[in-house]
């Protein structure tokens, strides 16, 4: 199979993404505008007949003081990962990126390797010998994913350590998803654990209402998000980031990004952003106040977002990253516990992979990042 690769226009890129059942929100052309501090390029793969058969959004981050770049394809590229000739796809990409001045390439194949059902994870949490998701036998394994990993290694790609290069843009390897395809909403609700169902009812009884917000409500979002950052000890992104995200994504597609608030007695208690690409819907950022937790605003909001995703015809509602630690003393344990309550599945992606085009600069970057 002979493929050619070249830079494509944003319009071509978007049309290709729109022709697919779904793709990562980080592989739509507008994501380049969200990541304004990176240079960007849309790549297209063409088959012999000249048809566009794959696309990738590349973000270039310049090294301090020299005109060399890290080329990053977050959760991409969008190609046929199970193609028997994977190098026919990746070799022209590496040659092109090298020509563009890249010293290293980082990509995240959107390939799921294993899935665990909520019931298996619950059993694992109760088992003192189980410390990580990996210790539990997976309910689903994709054998082709192992072949992809083998091919990448043979081509010289290196698997990133968990936690990756520390660019702050490194994507989670483990995510939590609620499958919606071929299921009724009643089934989805029935699969929630007792606590979730009780909390949804509690919020309803208390009169919690969940509403959608717009661009003008992002300041209120930021207020709740900054409260969350203090409570959970992370550095919040600035309001300008979310304003840019809203403008960029919704200019590309008016239904790409949504904002939700759960309020009680006229006071906003929790908020979330939602992203939509085809049949894939993500709960992307969440925030909540320190007050009003007893009326369970977060459960009410998730249930509303899930119902809205279902109404959009989504095949999956994605709660994004989880840690693979099942240790109750781990500070991220509460997150997995909250998400497991939805009765969905944990999924493990192939993780991020690096190709050092210039081994010396790649090593220098590694050292620089590890010191930060």
Instruction: Write out 102-137 in H/E/C secondary structure.
Output: EEEEEECCCCEEEEEEHHHHHHHHHCCCCCEHHHCC
Residue 254 CA to residue 159 CA, distance in Å, equals 36
Return the pLDDT at 363.
83
**What are the structural domains of the chain?**
4-108+352-370 (3.40.630.30), 112-142+151-349 (3.40.630.30)
Task: Quote the pLDDT of residue 106.
Answer: 96
**pLDDT averaged over the chain?**
94
Average pLDDT over residues 208-212: 98
For residues 50-61, average pLDDT:
97
The answer for residues whose C-beta is within 8 angstroms of residue 331's C-beta and 6 or more apart is: none
Q: How far apart are CA 283 and CA 306, in angstroms?
A: 9
* Model confidence pLDDT, tens digit, residues 355-365: 999 988 888 77
Strand order in the sheet with 353-356: 4-7, 39-46, 52-62, 69-73, 102-107, 353-356, 158-159
Percent of the chain at pLDDT exceeding 70: 96
Q: What does the pLDDT look like over 72-120, one tens digit per residue?
A: 999 999 999 999 999 999 999 999 999 999 999 999 999 999 999 999 9
pLDDT at 362: 82
Prior bond to 267 cis, omega within 30?
A: no
pLDDT band at 177; cut points 50, 70, 90: very high
pLDDT score of 169 more than 60: no
């Amino acid at each position: 199979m002979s493929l050619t690769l070249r830079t494509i226009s944003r319009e071509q890129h978007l049309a290709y993404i729109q022709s697919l059942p779904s793709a990562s929100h980080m592989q739509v052309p507008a994501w380049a505008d969200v990541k304004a501090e990176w240079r960007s390029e849309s790549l297209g793969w063409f088959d012999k007949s000249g048809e566009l058969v794959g696309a990738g959004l590349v973000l270039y981050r310049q090294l301090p003081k020299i005109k060399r770049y890290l080329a990053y394809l977050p959760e991409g590229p969008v190609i046929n990962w199970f193609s028997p000739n994977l190098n026919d796809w990746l070799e022209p990409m590496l040659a092109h990126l090298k020509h563009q001045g890249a010293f290293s390439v980082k990509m995240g194949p959107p390939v799921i390797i294993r899935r665990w059902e909520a019931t298996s994870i619950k059993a694992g949490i109760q088992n003192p010998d189980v410390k990580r998701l990996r210790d539990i036998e997976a309910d689903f394994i994709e054998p082709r994913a192992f072949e992809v990993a083998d091919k990448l290694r043979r081509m010289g790609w290196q698997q990133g350590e968990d936690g990756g290069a520390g660019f702050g843009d490194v994507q989670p390897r483990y995510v939590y998803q609620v499958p919606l395809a071929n299921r009724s909403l009643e089934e989805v609700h029935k699969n929630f654990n007792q606590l979730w169902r009780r909390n949804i009812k509690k919020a309803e009884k208390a009169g919690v209402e969940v509403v959608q917000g717009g661009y003008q409500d992002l300041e209120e979002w930021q207020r709740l998000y900054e409260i969350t950052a203090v409570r959970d000890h992370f550095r919040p992104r600035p309001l300008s980031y979310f304003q840019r995200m809203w403008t960029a994504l919704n200019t590309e597609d008016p239904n790409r990004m949504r904002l939700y608030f759960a309020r009680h007695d006229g006071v906003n208690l929790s908020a979330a952003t939602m992203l939509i690409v085809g049949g894939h819907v993500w709960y992307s950022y969440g925030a909540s106040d320190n007050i009003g937790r007893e009326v369970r605003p977060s459960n009410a909001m998730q249930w509303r977002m899930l119902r809205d995703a279902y109404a959009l015809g989504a095949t999956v509602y994605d709660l994004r990253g989880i840690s693979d630690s099942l240790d109750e003393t781990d500070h991220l344990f509460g997150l997995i516990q909250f998400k497991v309550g939805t009765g969905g599945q944990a999924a493990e992606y192939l993780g991020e992979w690096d190709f050092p085009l210039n081994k010396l600069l790649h090593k220098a970057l590694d050292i620089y990042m590890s010191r930060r």
